[in-house]
């Protein structure tokens, strides 16, 4: 441990009643202090919890690469929608959001998850805040993409319900298996099967997001998956 | 007493990780020794409120960890270094320690000075603004120790804290432990008997999920002189004598049963 930085070459010239350690700690506190970004300050104020705000902006799924990847996917969806006339943004958004939600969770993804289980800010609160934030970002991106592709308002709001269900499924699987990859895989597979089954039964690719009778099943799926997540994190500190 | 646990057990499926452990600890440094799989990590995780006991009662810092509000209060006053501490590679040393200070709900105005003091105490001041991805294993371990002590904890739980530290760093770390142990309860799980001899006022030995010895390092040394302990140092012989005795007794019980 040879890199101690207190003191310095002129230590002997300092009057004996000056506590150099304390002075240095104050200086270091000023120099090392990290100024929170605009988003973090806003969230901190809204939630009245700076710890939760930091946890929120530290999630992998809110980092810039994720947002860029989502913009690209939904941008391709817009182009394909314009070209084909099918509401592909509405079909893509649930799958993209599910991936974001699964990667918002801790075990296997959050490197310091074990440590965060012992914190005063509950891991379930961190999980909830991250899931809501990811969902909100994808909802905004999806809305913008759908508006750009000229789809109708019914379809725009139609994909929000399946998006909730698929995201909840991905989160539940990620929670139970402690693997974000498993959550993404199951979420994507379930959504692909739903879309394909809808096309097979009706001949329309978009029936999975336009048939309102399906929304009851999506809502039921979301509720059941939310219950699974609550159950899996019920013990103090949650999972084993 | 900061730690009072009675007949605490934890099972994973059918296998018991901790089997009926009772322990009391006040301020001071308690070394937790035991072979791999003895249940040390599971016991520490229960004390850190990360893992719920299957049975038994626990009181930590005179609070009940199974009650939500009390658990939260315990966590504010707790420092925990897990065996496998993950890191955010893009965080700097100071950011990482600050992040956990925030999650411990420390008052915001106290955090910058507390972070600076914790980073200095583990002698990482020169690397405070370095990204974690650039640090060596020993430095990362010290970052983990810094986050554990940033809130000046009343209960400090360290699982293999000296893994990856060089001899000089280990000597400095023992001094830090003794210092913190003057006002807080420090429980250190380790494989290194010499760490216990140098830093701990009390020592507990676990084997097969059970607490098979609890006393002072001197008392453990005496057990080595009385029994048939193996090892170079007196404390090592005491440790192995306790383990041999515990296993012989367990075998006898099994044979009779």
pLDDT in tens, B184-234: 999 999 888 888 888 899 999 999 899 999 999 999 988 877 767 677 778
Tell me, what's the pLDDT at A93? 82
In this structure, is residue A176 part of a structural domain? yes
Largest CA distance in chain B: 63
Instruction: Measure CB to CB from residue B49 to each of A30, A55, A237 and give the nearest one.
Output: A237
Helix (H) or strand (E) holding B249: helix B234-256
Q: Report yes or no on A181 lying in a domain.
A: yes
pLDDT digits (tens, 9 = 90+) for B124-142: 988 999 999 999 988 999 9
Total domains in chain A come to: 1
Residue B172 forms contact with A (CB below 8 Å): yes
A236 with B66: Cβ contact below 8 A: yes
Residue A179 tokens, joined: 């693997």
pLDDT digits over A208-235, tens only?
888 888 888 998 998 998 888 878 766 5
pLDDT of residue B54: 93
Assigned domain for A13 exists: no
Q: Which residues of B touch A236 (CB under 8 A)?
A: 49-52, 65-66, 71
Name the minimum distance, in Å, from the CA of B174 to any CA of chain A: 13
pLDDT at position B219: 92
Nearest CA in chain A to B148: A115
Dihedral over Cα of A10, A12, A17, A22: its sign: positive
Q: Which domain holds residue A148?
A: 38-232
| Residue A130: inside a domain | yes
Tell whether B65 lies on the interface with A, counting CB pairs under 8 A.
yes
For residue B245, the distance in angstroms to the closest alpha carbon of chain A comes to 32
Looking at residue B251, the DSSP 8-state letter turns out to be: H
Instruction: Show residues of chain A in contact with B71, CB under 8 Å.
Output: 236
Tell me which chain B residues have a C-beta less than 8 angstroms from the C-beta of A115.
80, 82, 85-86, 100, 147
pLDDT value, residue A154:
64
- Whole-number Å distance between alpha carbons of A78 and A142: 10
Give the global pTM.
0.78
- Determine the pLDDT at residue A238: 39
Residues of chain B with pLDDT below 70 are 227, 229, 257
How many interface pairs between A and B have CB atoms less than 8 angstroms apart?
133
A217 found inside a domain: yes
Residue of chain A minimizing CA distance to B147: A115
Are B120 and A24 inside 8 Å of each other by CB? yes
Asked if A24 and B75 come within 8 Å (Cβ–Cβ), the reply is no
Which of chain A's residues have a Cβ under 8 Å away from the Cβ of B72? 120, 122
Does any domain span residue A213?
Answer: yes
Task: Kindly state the DSSP code that residue B52 receives in the 8-state scheme.
Answer: -
Does A31 map to a domain? no
User: Which residues, in sequence order, are CB contacts of A184 under 8 Å at separation 6+?
Assistant: A98, A99, A102, A103, A170, A174
Residue numbers in B near A51 (CB within 8 A)? 99, 102-105
- DSSP lists the bridge partners of residue B24 as B4
- Predicted local distance difference test score (pLDDT) of residue A68: 84
| A5 in a structural domain | no
Sequential pLDDT tens for chain A (240 residues): 444 444 444 555 666 666 666 777 777 777 777 777 787 888 778 777 777 788 777 766 556 777 788 888 888 888 887 777 777 777 888 888 888 888 776 566 677 878 888 999 877 777 777 777 777 777 788 778 777 766 556 666 677 888 888 888 988 888 788 787 888 899 999 999 999 998 898 888 888 888 888 888 998 998 998 888 878 766 544 333
Pairing mode, if any, of strands B55-60 and B15-25?
unpaired
Residue of A70, A60, A56 lying closest to A103 (CA atoms): A60
B109 lies within 8 A of chain A by CB: no
């Amino acid at each position: 441990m040879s890199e101690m930085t207190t003191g310095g070459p002129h230590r002997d010239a300092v009057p004996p009643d000056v506590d150099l350690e304390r002075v240095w700690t104050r200086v270091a506190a000023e120099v090392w202090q990290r100024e929170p970004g605009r988003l973090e300050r806003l969230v901190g104020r809204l939630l009245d919890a700076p710890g939760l705000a930091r946890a929120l902006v530290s999630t992998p799924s809110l980092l810039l690469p994720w947002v860029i990847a989502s913009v690209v996917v939904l941008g391709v969806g817009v182009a394909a929608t314009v070209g084909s006339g099918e509401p592909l943004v509405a079909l893509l958004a649930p799958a993209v959001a599910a991936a974001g939600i699964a990667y918002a969770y801790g075990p296997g993804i959050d490197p310091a998850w074990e440590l965060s289980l012992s914190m005063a800010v509950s891991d379930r609160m961190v999980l909830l805040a991250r899931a809501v934030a990811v969902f909100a970002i994808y909802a905004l991106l999806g809305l913008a993409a759908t508006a750009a592709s000229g789809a109708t308002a019914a379809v725009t709001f139609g994909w929000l319900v399946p998006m909730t269900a698929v995201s909840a499924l991905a989160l539940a699987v990620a929670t139970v298996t402690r693997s974000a990859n498993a959550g993404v895989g199951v979420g994507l597979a379930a959504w692909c099967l739903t879309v394909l089954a809808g096309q097979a039964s009706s001949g329309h690719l978009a029936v999975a997001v336009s048939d309102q009778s399906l929304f009851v099943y999506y809502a039921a799926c979301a509720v059941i998956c939310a219950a699974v997540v609550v159950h899996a994190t019920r013990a103090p500190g949650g999972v084993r | 007493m900061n730690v009072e646990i009675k007949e605490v057990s934890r099972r994973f499926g059918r296998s018991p990780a901790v089997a009926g452990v009772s322990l009391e600890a006040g301020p001071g440094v308690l070394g937790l020794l035991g072979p791999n799989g003895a249940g040390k990590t599971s016991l520490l995780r229960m004390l850190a409120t990360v893992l719920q006991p299957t049975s038994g009662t626990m009181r930590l810092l005179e609070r009940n960890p199974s009650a939500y509000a009390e658990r939260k209060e315990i966590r504010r006053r707790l420092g925990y270094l897990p065996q496998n501490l993950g890191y955010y590679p893009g965080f700097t040393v100071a950011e990482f320690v600050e992040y956990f200070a925030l999650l411990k709900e420390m008052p915001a105005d106290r955090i910058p000075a507390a972070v600076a003091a914790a980073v200095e105490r583990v002698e990482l001041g020169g690397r405070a603004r370095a990204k974690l991805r650039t640090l060596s294993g020993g430095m990362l371990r010290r970052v983990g120790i810094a986050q554990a002590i940033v809130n000046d904890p009343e209960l400090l739980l360290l699982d293999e804290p000296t893994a990856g530290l060089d001899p000089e760093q280990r000597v400095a770390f023992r001094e830090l432990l003794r210092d913190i142990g003057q006002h807080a309860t420090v429980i250190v799980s380790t494989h290194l008997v010499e760490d216990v001899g140098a830093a701990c006022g009390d020592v507990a030995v676990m084997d097969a999920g059970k607490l098979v010895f609890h006393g002072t390092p001197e008392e453990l040394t005496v057990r080595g002189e009385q029994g048939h302990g193996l090892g170079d140092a007196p404390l090592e012989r005491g440790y192995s004598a306790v383990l041999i005795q515990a296993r012989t007794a367990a075998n006898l019980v099994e044979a009779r049963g």
